[in-house]
Amino acid sequence: MKRVTTLVFVSMLLLVLAACAGNNDGGAAPVDNQPAQNQPAQGNQAAPADTSANVSQGITDTTVRVGNAAAVSGPFAAIGGPFNDGMRAYFHQINESGGIHGRTIEFVHHDDGFDPVSGLAFTEQLIFDDRIFAIVGHFGTPTIGATLDLLAETGIPAVYFASGISALFNDAAHTVADGRNLFPVQPIFITEGRVLVARAVEEYYVNRIGVIFTSDDAGHDFIRGISDQTSALGIDVVQEQIAPGQADVSSAVLRMLTEDVDAVIVATLQATLPAVINAIVAAGLDVPIFTSYISADSATLAGFTADYLGVGASFPIYATAWLDIGIAPDFVPEHAEFVAGVTAFGDPDLAASAFAMAGWIAGSTFAQGFANTDPANLTWEAFMDAMESTPINLPMGGVMDFSNGARTGTDAMALVRANMETVAWETIRPIEPLHAVIARVER
């Protein structure tokens, strides 16, 4: 039986992964504050440790305090609420089992309304007033972009960014100034561009790849990774840029046709993909298509199913995926643990939420790093050392390796293929790290 991959859709996460009060049963001891009641602390140095010289701020004899700032009100609440509740559910599970190093995890949250000014102010408050040990689940591209300088100035660890923003990408972050204290997990578009090339080469041994990409940050990040990987593999590239949401992309598709490419990578967000696929159908271009996991949902697929089936098209359409839950009754063990965890937390509805899965992964990533930290030296520096010393297992995903300053987001991704008859995506290649695919395709 084929397995269906359930994806955390980064297109939404790039906009915001907001947090909501959710189930506050004491498991994660959340503290929720509203913007009008809080002002940021002054200064650019982090507050001192809470107890002794061998711990950083946010550590007491019985707790470790972490937090984030995110919108829990307004149109993004339906996205952000499950994310934070998934994280809280993970912390609840840890706390119920006695915590880590004898300390339970306390979660502090502020509602930033998806406003970068508020996001910066509340991130300052988390660091200087709330005195958290680490930011966990830092998300919303506007807030992340507005706070990167602050994170560099203070050196506070930040674990899991709900964004593919290229500023997080670094192959060798050896100092805080380079971003050593930042630990991105979610795929970064630069990295995914490399994965898309490797998968296309492995599936079809292509020599000439066409790329249709958008003139936005996402498109430019994709093309950076694609260019890096095609250059390394000696693959010719034909590039065509289009505007995000552009309705008529026929000229870009015609270029792919006249240049006789072996495959096409559509490096766009999901709103633009249907127009590109429909133009490919109309032009009669019959080559494999590869695209990002942000478009691998049934709603996007439905946007071009009618045109595709209407002319009897047969070219395959592939996407990447970084989470796999299997299908009932054959769930992967990590998904079964997630379902049990959110149910024990008191909200079984979270089991169907990809955003809750993302929050669960954020919590797990921090917990693994903290568990690997020497309990006699619970400092930021020791935590960063621990995060780099041992690969992090991503529940329902691959392995995240931060060693040697790697801050590239996960490159362990599966390959899925669109089933146009069932309007669904089916896993055809398992989750694997990029280096494993590259080892098979290097010429």
Share of the chain above pLDDT 90, in %: 72
CB 80 within 8 A of CB 154: no
pLDDT at residue number 1: 38
Q: Which residue has the tokens 């669109």?
A: 418
pLDDT of residue 5 exceeding 90, the answer is no
The mean per-residue pLDDT over the stretch 288-308 comes to 92
pTM value is: 0.82
pLDDT at residue number 26: 36
Q: All domains of the chain, ordered by start, with CATH?
A: 10-187+330-405 (3.40.50.2300), 190-321+412-441 (3.40.50.2300)
Tens digits of residue pLDDT in 51-63: 445 899 999 999 9
Given pLDDT bands bounded at 50, 70 and 90, which one contains residue 73?
confident
pLDDT of residue 37 exceeding 70, the answer is no
CB 126 within 8 A of CB 69: yes
Share of the chain above pLDDT 70, in %: 86
Tens digits of residue pLDDT in 404-433: 999 999 999 999 999 999 999 999 999 999
DSSP string covering 373-386, please?
S-TT-BSHHHHHHH
pLDDT at residue number 17: 37
pLDDT at residue number 133: 98
Tens digits of residue pLDDT in 124-133: 999 999 999 9
Give the whole-angstrom CA distance, residue 362 versus residue 138.
Answer: 9
CB 254 within 8 A of CB 283: yes
pLDDT at residue number 75: 67
Greater model confidence, 4 or 338: 338
* Range scoring the smallest mean pLDDT among 67-71, 101-105, 232-236, 328-332: 328-332
The mean per-residue pLDDT over the stretch 107-131 comes to 93
Helix axes 217-233, 189-204, angle to 10 degrees: 40
pLDDT of residue 91 exceeding 80, the answer is yes
Given pLDDT bands bounded at 50, 70 and 90, which one contains residue 327?
low
**Average pLDDT score over the chain:** 87
The 3-state DSSP class for residue 314 equals coil
* Range scoring the smallest mean pLDDT among 5-19, 163-177, 276-290, 377-391: 5-19
Please name the residue ranges forming H helices in 44-166.
77-96, 116-128, 141-154
Given pLDDT bands bounded at 50, 70 and 90, which one contains residue 379?
very high
The 3-state DSSP class for residue 286 equals coil
Give the whole-angstrom CA distance, residue 335 versus residue 341.
Answer: 10
Q: Cis bond leading into 329, ω under 30°?
A: yes
pLDDT at residue number 323: 87
Per-residue tokens: 376: 């006699």
Give the whole-angstrom CA distance, residue 133 versus residue 49.
Answer: 9
